[in-house]
Amino acid sequence: VRMERQAVQRAREAFQSGRTRPLEFRLQQLHALQRMITEKETEIATALKQDINRSQYDTPLLELIGIENEIKLAIDRMAQWAAPRPVEKNVLTISDEVYIQPEPLGVVLIIGAWNYPWALTLLPLVGAIAAGNAAVVKPSELSEYSSLLLRELYPVVTGGVAETQDLLRLRFDHVFFTGGSTTGKLVMEAAAQHLTPVTLELGGKSPCYIDKDCEIRVACRRITWGKFVNCGQTCIAPDYILCEPSIQSQVVDCIRLTLLEFYGADPKCSPDYGRIINQRHFNRIMSLMEGYTPVVGGQSDSSQCYIAPTVLKDVPPHSRLMQEEIFGPVLPIVTVSDMDDAIRFVNEREKPLALYIFCNDKKAVKRMIEETTSGGVTVNDVMMHYTLSSLPFGGVGHSGMGRYHGKHTFDQLSHQRACLIRSLKMESVNLARYPPQDRRRARRSPTRWQQTADINSNGQPIV
């Protein structure tokens, strides 16, 4: 507890000293973070290889490029984001100075996730720095090698569940958590003791609807990449497929051919195919597959935490597999009679973090977007909405609260302070608001607000 308390105290003292507020200091910190990413790319890739067998080619694509782009954007736009923002006035404030001033919240706790331990830890940090906050960073202990490397490069708090719980007992000005919904509830409960606002980036079962009239081969190629990259351990990976029975076999065949193209006849030997993070998650995923006969894959090796890319067809809608987020390389297919049935299926369940629609009919796409809800939606591809800093990334309902990326992170970790500055002159304008009230004086006032004193309860003028 002492270590966590000291880390928070140092961050609090740094913030209260005013050191984190000047734009010049924020820029220096962001440039330093950029240099760290550039100089340590090889070490980062090695750590990820040890943690989840991440391909050295996937590390820049899946994590580092995104961080670098966020840093560059923050450096370029930070002065604009932090500037006072004039707002519309009314007749009562016509001669006043009225604006919104973004200001830092204070000390932000960032709890990272293990599946993308660099992006999901450092992306919120970029926004916290840009907004002028001090931050306490807690990377996930499950991605052990990445966590140790982060500790060498950056002042972070390491440890497991006990250390995280100790941190959450302390007071912060904002808690930014990425992880599962069960832990998210505990984070929210702990933050409530201090009335601390939270951003919860959770997950859930993201549906993927394939219309029978779309280019199924292309759709399956894109779905296969999104589902099995990082061994399925991606919060916005397609969790399951919805399609009509008439195309189910074609979908299976296309995914099988794509897997052969991506990972070869034996994905276990492919340098591009990952591993499950640990034995506990390996056992959890294997238990979800019990009772099913895979139509693709299904092989596993406990000693390596390896599970082959696996497809299951005709999965019952109310099975355990369809109740829990899979977070692994297992893709169930559930058949629906048509788009109406798919919409009902999605709406009967918790609001997902992402919704994927593969369909050529623009009217049908628009209808599905309008009649469902999700944190984000991508049409005719998967996960690509995450790559845009201009789009807010976050969940809704059970899949999370709050949003980030680009300016959205800056706004999330800033207080939007309402400011009104007026002169001590022209006091006569204010006479109508002071007692003792005089109806005639109010009637002579030029403002609409003061004129309402001359209207009775029936809306009729008082004469």
Considering only CA atoms, which of 236, 277, 240 is closest in space to residue 400?
Answer: 236
From the list 4, 63, 201, 325, the catalytic residue is 201
Catalytic site includes residue 201: yes
- Residue 254 known to be catalytic: no
Of the residues 208, 220, 235, 359, only one is catalytic, namely: 235
Q: How many CB atoms lie within 10 A of CB 182?
A: 8
Burial of 327 (0-12, 13-18, 19+ CB in 10 A): buried
CB 185 within 8 A of CB 167: no
Dist CA 277 CA 290 (whole Å): 20
Positions annotated as catalytic residues are: 201, 235
